[in-house]
Structure 1
Amino acid sequence: MNAIDPRPLYTRATEQMAALIKTVRPEQLTGRTPCTEYDVRTLLSHIVGGTLRIAVVGEGGDGLAVRPFADDVADDDWTAVYDEVRTRVLKAWESDARMEAPVRVPWGEVPGRAALSGYVMELVTHTWDLAESLGRPLELDPELAEFALATARRVLPAPERDEQTPFAGALSAPEGADIYGQLAAWLGRAPLSGA
């Protein structure tokens, strides 16, 4: 992991998410998602809030003080709000020094490189969640899922997870699952069609 700079992958992941958010129609906001406790609106709130959190971390602030949900976003503002926070997070992580500096994230104090790699995993996973919820309107970048799955297998190697882990226990990927399907299964998600 130390040899890989996660910034280009994170940038691509934010571009992919931005394109996906643009496809959300108002009537889809109350639809269900593979994150069983979230509807589409709540998932978008978490995506924006989580992106703001890692932006604050990249700026040298206390990301844990940032609630990982965005409040008071109007239904037709998700694209603009995500674009704003996406611009902020990419600027926050421009510095090479930030890659090695210790930062505090929900899973502990780690080098910035490890923190941003974890957020690539989270964002790419939530991209699959949102795409699944919206009927898969866009083709997703498999290289991003490969990186996210490698990260997930490294940081969450045990298929069984306790209640302290933010992801459910691993599931078996459906037969013929693509790399996103494998990532989703490793993080305890099932396709909506199979739910």
Structure 2
Amino acid sequence: MTAPDQIDPRPIYRGATDWVTTLLRAVREDQHALPTPCDEFDVLALASHLVGTGGRIIAIAELGSPDSVPAISPDHDEDTYARLAERAQQTWADDALLDKPIAGPWGESTGRFALWAYANEALVHGWDLAVAIGQPSEADSALVEPTAAVFRQFLPAAARVPGVPFSAVVEPRAEAGPTERLANWSGRSSRDWV
């Protein structure tokens, strides 16, 4: 079996961003001020952050660092997000970028890990957004399970500093699906949301 860190993350990232685009399309203006499971963001700020992540993964490939793009975009719409996701796919089409050293917000890693990190970001924040606006909150398990495997390997619960980059792992509900469990691994409590 191929180790998760050797799997090409580009199709996973693509599927995760397609799911998020669908969720962004479902956001109504009267939902913008709703809270989300991510304490930092209400729905509008979370949508703007998701768009920001789309720009940052492009900047990592093109410039070697996300620092030229704000983490929270002035845009929050699904069309901008979808355009950035498509551009990211084109930007990351070169296989050589996968193993190239890059500087991410978390420090130095490979391009491959950066794509896994941004797929994780899309899936976890997608879950945040979905539960906040009352949409189905489970992404395709074929996207979630390899992402979860990578993050369990590279961000074990025991090695975390509280809040950096995630809070402590939350014990999942017995009936939690894979996306909810990934959100729990990232420190999200789902008990008040689902």
Same fold (TM > 0.5): yes
Tell me if the contact between 2:127 and 2:137 (Cα under 8 Å) persists in the aligned partners: no
Residues 1:114 and 1:139: Cα distance change in structure 2 (over 3 Å): closer
Q: Secondary structure at the match of 2:67?
A: helix
Name which of 66, 72, 81 aligns with 1:63. 66
- 1:137, CA displacement in angstroms? 3.9
**SS in structure 2 opposite 1:104?**
strand
Question: What letter matches 2:143 in structure 1?
Answer: L
Contact 2:138/2:180 (CA < 8 Å) preserved in 1? no
Aligned length, in residue pairs: 191
Q: Secondary structure of 1:124's match?
A: helix
Question: Aligned-pair distance for 1:48?
Answer: 0.7
Q: Is 1:49 aligned to 2:52, yes or no?
A: yes
Q: Is the 8 A contact 1:57 1:104 kept in 2?
A: yes
TM-score, with structure 2 as normaliser:
0.90
Q: 2:41 aligns with which of 26, 38, 43?
A: 38
CA 152–64 in structure 1, closer or farther in 2 if over 3 Å, else same: same
Instruction: Determine if contact 1:32/1:133 at 8 Å carries over to the other structure.
Output: yes
CA distance in 1, matches of 2:161, 2:70: 22
User: In structure 1, what is the equivalent of residue 133 of structure 2?
Assistant: 134
Q: Deviations over 1:29-74 (max 9, x none)?
A: 1111000121000101111111111111122343123221102x3x
Cα contact 1:49–1:67 (8 A) shared by 2? yes
1:109-143 Cα offsets, whole Å, 9 max, x none, are 21211111111111111111111111124652112
In structure 2, the partner of 1:13 is 16
Question: Which residue matches 1:88?
Answer: 87
Q: What secondary structure does 2:26 align onto?
A: coil
Normalised to the residue count of structure 1, the TM-score between the two structures is 0.89
Match of 2:176 in 1: 177
**C-alpha distance 8-194 of structure 1, shift in aligned 2 (>3 A):** closer
Give the gaps of 5 or more residues in structure 2: none
Q: Secondary structure at the match of 2:102?
A: strand
Equivalent position of 1:24 in the other structure: 27
Amino acid at match of 1:182: R
Q: Please say which of residues 165-174 and 185-194 is displaced more in the overlay.
A: 185-194
**Partner SS, residue 109 of structure 2:** strand
CA RMSD of aligned residues (A): 1.9
- The amino acid of 2:142's aligned partner reads E
Q: Secondary structure at the match of 1:167?
A: coil
C-alpha distance 45-83 of structure 1, shift in aligned 2 (>3 A)? same
SS at match of 2:18: helix
The whole-number CA distance in structure 2 between the counterparts of 1:138 and 1:157 is 24
